[in-house]
């Protein structure tokens, strides 16, 4: 782009506004001018004359003159022998459109028709690979509509068929739902994952906002083009501040929409949404489904994961658990029959230990604490047995040479014992219990540090777990010479999928006791 700008600057001096009375702008090798038709003819002749001397050869067959209907005859007469196409309707220009309202409407309708077909194709893919289809929609397809929404005003009504295709075709195929996607559910799914949604935006509702933001953001550049000011520079700091303001306004609008949904949705759904808003609870949605890294879900796993996220009914569960109790989604998350709860715990333990081994020495799983020889501990609930163990230890994590001990707990925030307390209080309660069990003993007997790593079954982390993994990301980023943001994203994805797959195992795993060998 810089080379194009340098090259065309020589030509633009020869065809400047002072010489031609044509206001012009160049984007790469696309040269555009606006003015009276007679002046445009002079401008075109100068482009043809001076362009080839710098290597710019205008192609008349690809050049379009757009005129008002009442000036069409004049345009045809003045550009009769030029080879330039003259139109009074309009023309596609740099991915947008310039012309009459009727031409703009026809252009957008053709685009929408094409996009509806693409949504239909993606819906067919979603029937067998919903995770891949969801990622393709949120990371790719919906961004293809952005430029048209930003550059063509008043097209919300024209985008309605696209929204209907998303609601009636794509979402049912993606979520395998038998119920109709209502307005409240559609509004929820359009919110970003950090607010408990899925980021499946509504093109109809976003069009006017994106067009308005685009106009405000490009106004400084537009004013310079209109004034033909080629010497001044736009204030990039002001543009950056404007972007931040727009981002804040959009986030505030999203929070307001979420608050409206809280007023109309059931208490159980609100609890699920609050859990989904925790740090780390939505990383499985936002990362790419890379199968080689273990980040890809099959069609059953994806549908179950979304159902767990929002508390929707899960099909195919037996009415009675193998343990004999009535079966439900909540029961499967805590039932100890089959050992799935232990597997879930051990998955996080082993993953944390493997990440610690990349940056620390003397990393051990299930280390035994030093035995007590008359020492007293502060709390009555402390673990005082000589065989007491924690989950992971590593030397030099918090302090050089000192041994750090970590113990993991994963709890179900929907369990009956947590129904009456806020989610944040549930995290703190579990952290306090772990600290009372091991903190005083490790500090005074083992002379180490203790950090409880508390998670929810959906992937949310407690305050001390956030602090621990933040420190781990700092050390890992420094050692590997990688951006911290990349390390944090990678770490959260691994933890998120580890907990998600464990939850799906608890949900669908076969619970039975292994047969004992006969003697």
Q: How far apart are the first and last CA of the chain?
A: 80
**pLDDT for res 514:** 55
Long-range interactions of 234-242: CB distance < 8 A, separation 24+:
242/216, 242/217
Q: What is the pTM of this model?
A: 0.88
Q: Got the DSSP string for 119-131?
A: HHHHHHHHTT-HH
Question: What tens digit of pLDDT does each residue of 400-458 get?
Answer: 999 999 999 999 998 888 888 999 999 999 999 999 999 999 999 999 999 999 999 99
Say what the pLDDT of residue 403 is: 95
The Cα–Cα gap between 208 and 157 comes to: 10
Helix (H, G, I), strand (E, B) or coil at 272: helix
Identify the pLDDT of residue 516.
57
From residue 267, how far is each of 123, 263, 271, 427 by CA, in Å? 31, 10, 6, 20
For residues 440 and 369, give the distance between their C-alpha atoms in angstroms, rounded to a whole number: 12
Q: Which helix or strand (DSSP H or E) is residue 507 part of?
A: helix 484-508
* DSSP output for 349-411: HHHHHHHHHTT-EEEEESPBPPPPSS---S-TTS---TT-B-SEEEETSSSTT-EEEEEEEEE
At residue 86, the pLDDT reads 93
To 10 degrees, what angle do helices 299-310 and 484-508 make? Answer: 90
Bridge partners, residue 93, by sequence: 96
503 closest CA partner among 233, 287, 278, 314:
314
* Spans of the chain below 70 pLDDT: 179, 513-519
Contacts of residue 434, defined as CB under 8 A and 6 or more positions apart, other chains included, come to: 407, 409, 450, 452, 454
Supply angle C-alpha 334, 338, 340, rounded to 5: 55
* Strand pairing report for 361-365 and 392-395: antiparallel
Ramachandran assignment for 459, one of left (phi > 0), alpha (psi -120 to 50 degrees), beta (any other): left
**Phi, psi dihedral angles at 185 (to 5 degrees):** -65, -40
CB 383 within 8 A of CB 437: yes
| Rounded Cα gap, residues 155 and 153, in angstroms | 6
pLDDT at 94: 83
Which burial class, exposed, middle or buried, applies to 258 when counting CB atoms under 10 A from its CB (0-12, 13-18, 19+)?
buried
Give a three-class secondary structure readout of 45-57.
HHHHHHCHHHCCC
DSSP assignment, residue 26?
E
Q: Which of 509, 496, 56, 72 is nearest to 309 (CA)?
A: 496
Mean pLDDT for the chain?
Answer: 91
Phi, psi of 259 (to 5 degrees): -65, -35
pLDDT score, position 18: 86
Report the length, in residues, of the chain. Answer: 519
What's the distance, CA 36 to chain centroid?
Answer: 47
Nearest alpha carbon to residue 309 among 119, 509, 511, 499: 499
Q: 320: which strand partners?
A: 326
The answer to whether 147 and 95 have CB atoms below 8 angstroms apart is: yes
Cα–chain-centroid distance for residue 498?
Answer: 19
pLDDT (tens digit, 9 = 90+) per residue, 389-409? 999 999 999 999 999 999 999
> Residue 33: which H helix or E strand, with range?
strand 30-34
Contacts 24+ apart (CB under 8 A), 244-247: 246/213, 246/216, 246/217
CB environment 149-159: b (16+ within 10 A), e (fewer): bbbbeebbebb
């Amino acid at each position: 782009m810089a080379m194009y700008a340098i090259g065309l600057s020589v030509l633009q001096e020869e065809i400047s506004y002072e010489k031609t009375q044509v206001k012009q702008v160049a984007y790469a090798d696309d040269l555009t001018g606006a003015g009276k038709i007679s002046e445009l003819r002079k401008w075109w002749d100068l482009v043809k004359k001076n362009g080839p001397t710098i290597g710019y050869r205008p192609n008349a067959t690809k050049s379009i003159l757009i005129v008002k209907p009442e000036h069409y005859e004049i345009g045809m007469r003045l550009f009769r022998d030029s080879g330039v196409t003259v139109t009074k309707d309009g023309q596609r220009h740099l991915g947008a459109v310039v012309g009459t309202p009727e031409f703009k409407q026809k252009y957008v309708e053709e685009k929408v028709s094409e996009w509806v077909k693409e949504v239909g194709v993606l819906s067919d893919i979603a029937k067998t690979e919903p995770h891949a289809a969801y990622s393709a929609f949120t990371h790719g397809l919906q961004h293809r509509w952005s430029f048209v929404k930003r550059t063509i005003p008043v097209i919300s009504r024209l985008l309605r068929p696209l929204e209907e295709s998303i609601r009636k075709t794509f979402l049912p195929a993606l979520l395998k739902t038998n119920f109709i996607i209502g307005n409240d559910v559609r509004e929820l799914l359009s919110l970003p994952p950090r607010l408990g949604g899925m980021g499946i935006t509504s093109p109809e509702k976003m069009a006017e906002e994106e067009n308005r933001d685009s106009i405000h953001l490009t106004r400084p550049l537009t004013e310079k083009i209109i004034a033909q000011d080629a010497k001044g520079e736009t204030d990039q700091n002001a543009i950056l501040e404007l972007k931040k303001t727009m981002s804040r306004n959009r986030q505030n609008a999203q929070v307001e929409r979420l608050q409206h949904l809280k007023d109309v949705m059931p208490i159980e759904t609100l609890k699920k949404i609050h859990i989904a808003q925790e740090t780390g609870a939505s990383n499985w949605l936002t990362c790419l489904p890379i199968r080689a890294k273990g980040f890809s879900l099959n069609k059953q796993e994806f549908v179950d994961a979304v159902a767990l996220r929002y508390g929707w009914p899960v099909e195919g569960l037996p009415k009675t658990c193998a343990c004999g109790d009535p079966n439900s989604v909540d029961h499967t998350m805590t039932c100890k029959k089959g050992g799935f709860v232990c597997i879930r715990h051990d998955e996080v333990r082993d993953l944390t230990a493997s990440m610690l081994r990349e940056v620390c020495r003397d990393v051990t799983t299930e280390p035994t604490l030093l035995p007590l020889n008359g020492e007293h501990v502060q709390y009555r609930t402390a673990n005082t047995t000589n065989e007491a163990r924690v989950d992971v230890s590593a030397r030099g994590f918090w302090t050089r040479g000192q041994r750090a001990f970590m113990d993991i707990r994963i709890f179900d925030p929907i369990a009956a014992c947590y129904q009456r307390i806020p989610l944040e209080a549930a995290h703190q309660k579990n952290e306090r219990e772990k600290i009372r069990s091991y903190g005083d003993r490790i500090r005074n007997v083992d002379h180490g540090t203790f950090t409880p790593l508390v998670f929810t079954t959906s992937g949310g982390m407690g305050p001390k777990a956030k602090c621990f993994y933040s420190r781990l990301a700092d050390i890992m980023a420094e050692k590997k010479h990688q951006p911290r943001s990349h390390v944090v994203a990678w770490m959260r994805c691994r933890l998120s999928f580890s907990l998600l797959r464990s939850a799906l195992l608890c949900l669908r795993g076969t619970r039975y006791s292994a047969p004992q060998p006969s003697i």
